[in-house]
Structures are given as C-alpha cells and as structure tokens.
Amino acid sequence: MTLTRRAFLRTVGSGAGGPAPAVITARGREALVGELGVLTSAIVPPADADEIRISSNENPMGPGPTAIQAIREHFDDSNRYPMNARITDTDAQDRIAKMYQARVENVVIAPGSSEILRNAVRAFTGPDRPLVSAECSYENPVRTAEFFGTPVKQVPNAPDLGIDLEKLAGAALGAGLVFFCNPNNPTGTVHVREDVEEFVRFVAKESPYTYILIDEAYHDYVTNPRYQTSAELALKYRNVFIGRTFSKAYGMAGLRLGYAVGGAEAMAKLRAYKLTFGTNVLGLAAACASLDDPAYIEKEVARNTEARQYTLDFFAKHGFSATDSQTNFIFVEINRPAKEFREACAKFNVQVGRDFPPYEKTHARISIGTLDEMKQATEIFAQVLGISTTDAGSDRS
C-alpha cells in the first residue's frame, strides 16, 4: 500500500513510530533501508511522494476547465509556429487589447511577464538612466540591470514593509525606469488607486523621460476594495505601462504567457526586444480561453482568500505578525533566519520561499496552497517554530 503525501504528513503529525522525516531527508531513503532493514510505507514516504510546494507563488489548482479544453483542442496544432497556427500571437494581442478597450499597438505579449520585466530594463535604462526599485521587491529587474551593468537605485521599504512611494518618487527623478510592483512581491502589500495616480502624476511631471513599469502579477488576488488596476493610467500616461501574467491566478506558470499594456510608443520600444516565436500555441489557446471564463478566476480568488486567511490566523494566534497580504503568499515575521526555517520545513517535505533581503534574518515568504495543504503545512510550521501541537491542532475547524 502506498502512502499518500497527505497521509504521510498526518502520520508525522500524529507522532507515529519510525524515523522522523528529517532523518529520512538527511540520510536518504536508501541509507535508511540499509540501516533498518525492510521499511514499510507507514514510516517512509514513498519514493514518488510529492511535497507541499508553497515556495513559488503558484496556483495549486492549475488552469481552469475552459483553458484545459482549449489546450486539448489546439494540441494537434503544435507543429505550427505561433504566427501560422489556428491561434496566433496577434489573436491573443487582439483579445487582450479588447479587454482593456485598447488597440493592438498598446499590447506586447511575451512568454511570461519575466520577459516583459527584463526587456523593460533593456529598453528603458542605460549608463545614465538608472533603474529604480524598492529594496525588497521582485528581483528580476534589479538582477537584469546588474547583468547589463546598468546603475540601480534601491530605496528602503516603508515601515509596513510595503513600497515607500515617496522615496520611490524621489529616486525616480532622472531615472530610465521605475519598477513598481503592485501588489509587491514578497511583502504582498498594495497601494490604492489614489496613491498610485499621485505617484504617476508626480513622476510624469517632474521627470518626463522616466518610464514606470507597474507590475500587476498578483492583481487578481487583491481583496482590498480601494485597490484598482493601473491599466487606465497606462493608457493615459505615455511613460507608464503595466505588466500582467497568466502564471498566478490563471494557474498557467508552466504555459508561459504574460503581457504589457501601455502607450503605443513605449510598447513599440518594448516590442523591439521581443523574443522571436517566444510564445507557444498551447499557452496562447489556454490564455485566450481563460479570459472568457471569469468565473474560474472568481472561484480561484475565493479559494485563495480563504486559505490565506486560515494561514494568517494561524500565525496571528501564535503571536507571529505578517504583512497585509493581498496576494497568494504571505510574508511572516518568524523571528529567525528564513534559511533556518526553510531548511527545517524542507525536512518535512514542505517547501517555502527563498531569502528576501534585507528581511532574510527575520521573515519568510510562504505561498498559499490549497486549504488542505495549508492545514498540513501549519502543523509542520508549529513543530518547526516550537508551537505546541495541541495549540496548533485547536486552530482547525
């Protein structure tokens, strides 16, 4: 009889006999078999046991049924380049443009929004035009700038660990590109519409040659009613554009599709760096189909909100504070190095996020899996953080 991952974790949680998973990870399965003789699946996870992977802000549910149906329907078209297939790059661009009541010139699609971020740095920064970003934000633009030898200005985060817009605005003067992640990864915090508009207006007036990339990768997960997409601002101000992805709420990280929306001139500059044939037919088909299925996103957001709240309640109940997450991950003050926490969790097959300087000595980023996964993961967190299991158990309904 094989033991499922969940059953295995339950076994661990209930204190059943046998070596702790920490031991299994440290010594390896084969070594243990050698030491202890024949092991039953009751004490060793099966070789194919998967993990609770809450490290990369992925949607644990995957693409919705409409997207999966579209993939099936386009599978036999996979021999075609995206410009020759039944669904093309232009179709997707068109579909996205319609959604924003914009024109195709206002949209650039890419194999994931990572390419948008990277190409934005290439298109809009240079030796005399630095990149500006918050100190604790998504690292891709800063890494890209460093790779190309472009100067970078990073501003400290605000006391709530969110992006300090005043500091960002100050640093923006004379910059080539400002990277403004809203909601911010890894802190999960958002800025509301009025604040974003004030920031944009200031930069556009005081530094008209500075471009602003507002990364909305986690847009769909926001529950703060005062938040709004900056798409409208992107179509109004020539130096502003947004980045979006199908990798998060749409559950398509492995299908690779993202896009930017902004003024035609900025989008033409960005498009010049576009990878030829970077997109794929299945990703295009799934993305277009999923835009016609808003009910899936609604369901996914409700699911994430419930699991996020469960996890936040667990930490709050045990005295650990977290930022105000508006995303599918949380940023928790665990009062110990993230590495130590991460490695301890990994020994129980729970994978949490990487280090996020300058908070890597105190905070961990934990992505939100299914509610069931979060119930199991919090049991492991309780063990790792030294919270009594009885307390942790009473958390669950």
Question: Smallest distance from the beta carbon of 388 to ligand PLP, in angstroms?
Answer: 34
Burial of 342 (0-12, 13-18, 19+ CB in 10 A): buried
Give me the least distance between CB of 208 and ligand PLP, in Å please: 26
Minimum CB–partner distance for residue 186 and ligand PLP (Å): 8
Closest CA to 180 of 232, 197, 160: 197
The pair of structure tokens assigned to 336 is 């110990």
Span 210-249, contacts to ligand PLP by CB under 6 A: 215, 217, 245, 247
Residue with the two structure tokens 């665990």:
334
CB of 169 vs ligand PLP, minimal distance in Å: 20
73 vs 324, beta carbon nearer ligand PLP = 324
Per rule CB under 6 A, is residue 177 in the interface with ligand PLP? Answer: no
* Residue 373 binds ligand PLP (CB under 6 A): no
Contacts of 166 (CB under 8 A, 6+ apart): none
CB 138, min distance to ligand PLP, A: 4
Compute the least distance from the CB of residue 226 to ligand PLP, in Å.
Answer: 20
| Dihedral of alpha carbons 292, 106, 255, 50, sign | negative
152-155/131-134 β-pairing: parallel
Quickly count: other Cβ atoms within 10 Å of residue 31's Cβ. 12
Between CA 108 and CA 258 the distance in angstroms is 9
Please give the backbone phi and psi of residue 133, each rounded to the nearest 5 degrees, phi first.
-150, 165
Compute the least distance from the CB of residue 59 to ligand PLP, in Å.
Answer: 11
Among positions 93-122, residues that touch ligand PLP (CB under 6 A) are 112-114, 117
**Residue closest to ligand PLP when measured from CB atoms:** 112
Per-residue DSSP letter, 363: E
The contacts of residue 349 (CB under 8 Å, 6+ apart) are 5, 8, 9, 21, 25, 45, 49, 50, 51, 52
Which residue has tokens 């905070």?
363
- Interface with ligand PLP: number of residues (CB under 6 A): 14
Nearest of 309, 291, 196 to residue 249 by alpha carbon: 291
Q: Are 144 and 121 in contact (CB under 8 A)?
A: yes
Give CA–CA dist 118/273, Å, rounded: 9
The one among 52, 181, 213, 288 contacting ligand PLP by CB under 6 A: 181
Record the tokens describing residue 124, joined without a space: 């809009």
Residue 117: CB minimum distance to ligand PLP, A: 6
Assess 144 for contact with ligand PLP (CB under 6 A): no
Binding mask 6-45 for ligand PLP (x = CB under 6 A): ----------------------------------------
Residue 113 CB, shortest distance to ligand PLP, in Å, is: 4
Q: Give the one residue of 11, 57, 326, 328 binding ligand PLP; rule: CB under 6 A.
A: 57
Residue 217 or residue 286: which is nearer to ligand PLP going by CB? 217
The CA-to-CA distance between both ends of the chain, in Å, stands at 29
Nearer to ligand PLP, 21 or 112 (CB): 112
Is 253 near ligand PLP (CB under 6 A)?
yes
Residues 283-322 that bind ligand PLP (CB under 6 A): none
Interacting residues with ligand PLP (CB under 6 A)? 57, 112-114, 117, 138, 181, 185, 215, 217, 245, 247, 253, 258
